[in-house]
Amino acid sequence: MGWGLQWFARKPEVKSREFWIFKLTDLSINTLFAEKKGEEEIKIGDQKYDAAKVRVSVPGWVSKFWGVHIWFRKEDGFYLKFKGANGPPGTPITTTELIQAP
């Protein structure tokens, strides 16, 4: 999901976007909603990055129960960090972050 939203993070004029993902586990297509949540400086290791923060959720009222955050480097949309439940509500929070950016 993070890699497919790089273009979105680089476009300041686009504030939200509905998109689809294909799940190999059950061969289903799911609709998701991405919304920019601002910019912030994040630190990964010894490096600081100016990042665009994006919230990804399901569309509609169900978004109150599930959503994840993904951070992208502002200058080029490079994927930096993911934080959220990697499954249905109640799933433990997963955090992944880049070790070193190119």
Work out whether the CA dihedral 25, 57, 1, 29 comes out positive or negative.
Answer: positive
The pLDDT confidence band at residue 101, using thresholds 50, 70 and 90, is low
3-19 tens-digit pLDDT:
778 888 888 899 999 99
User: How far is residue 62 CA from its own chain's centroid?
Assistant: 17
Provide the pLDDT for residue 102.
65
Decide if pLDDT at 63 tops 80: no
44-53 tens-digit pLDDT:
888 899 999 9
More confident residue, 66 or 38: 38
| Residue showing tokens 């509500």 | 89
Average pLDDT, the chain: 87
Three-state secondary structure call for residue 5? helix
Q: Are 14 and 8 in contact (CB under 8 A)?
A: yes
pLDDT, average across residues 72-91: 87
15-29 tens-digit pLDDT:
999 998 888 888 889
Decide if pLDDT at 93 tops 80: yes
Q: Are 96 and 90 in contact (CB under 8 A)?
A: no
Residue ranges per structural domain of the chain: 3-97
Separation in Å, CA 73 to CA 41, 51, 76, 86: 9, 4, 6, 22
Residue 79, number of CB atoms within 10 A of its CB: 20
